[in-house]
Amino acid sequence: MVGRDLSDALAARDEEFVALTRSDLDITDSRRVNAVIGEHAPSVIVNCAAYTKVDQAETEENVANAINGSSVELLAASANTAGALLVHISSDFVFDGASRVPYDVTDATAPLSSYGHSKLLGEHAASHAEKYLIVRSSWLFGVHGPNFVEAIRNQIRLGTNPLRVVADQRGRPTYTPHLAEAILRLARLAHDSSVARGIVHYADADECSWFDFACAIAEESGADATIKPVTTDEFPRPARRPAYSVLSTERYERLTGVAPKSWRDGLREYLTLRH
Does 45 contact ligand NAP by CB under 6 A? no
Count the site residues for ligand NAP by CB under 6 A.
Answer: 20
Dmax of the chain from CA atoms? 56
Nearer to ligand NAP, 23 or 194 (CB): 23
Q: Is residue 139 a contact point for ligand NAP (CB under 6 A)?
A: yes
26 touching ligand NAP, by CB under 6 A: yes
Nearer to ligand NAP, 204 or 257 (CB): 204
- Candidates 43-51, 185-193, 223-231, 247-255: pick the segment binding ligand NAP (CB under 6 A): 43-51
Query: For residues 82 and 140, which CB has a smaller minimum distance to ligand NAP in the complex?
Result: 140
34 contact partners, CB below 8 Å, separation of at least 6 = 74, 78, 81
Q: Which residues contact 176 (CB under 8 A, 6 or more apart)?
A: 1, 2, 5, 140, 141, 142, 144
Nearer to ligand NAP, 45 or 193 (CB): 45
Selecting among 51, 115, 132, 244, the annotated active-site residue is 115
Interface mask toward ligand NAP for 50-89; x: CB under 6 A: xxx--------------x---------------------x
Taking residues 208 to 227 in sequence order and writing x for each that binds ligand NAP by CB under 6 A, - otherwise, the string is: --------------------
Strand arrangement of the beta sheet that strand 85-91 belongs to? 44-47, 85-91, 132-137, 198-201
Min dist CB 114 to ligand NAP, Å, is: 13
Is there binding between residue 6 and ligand NAP (CB under 6 A)? no
Q: Is 132 a catalytic residue?
A: no
9 binds ligand NAP (CB under 6 A): no
Cβ(136)–Cβ(198) under 8 Å? no
Q: Binder to ligand NAP among 7, 65, 78, 91 (CB under 6 A)?
A: 91
Binding string, 104-133, against ligand NAP, x = CB under 6 A? ---------------x--------------
Q: Which residues bind ligand NAP (CB under 6 A)?
A: 1-2, 22, 26-28, 48-52, 67, 89, 91, 119, 137-140, 145
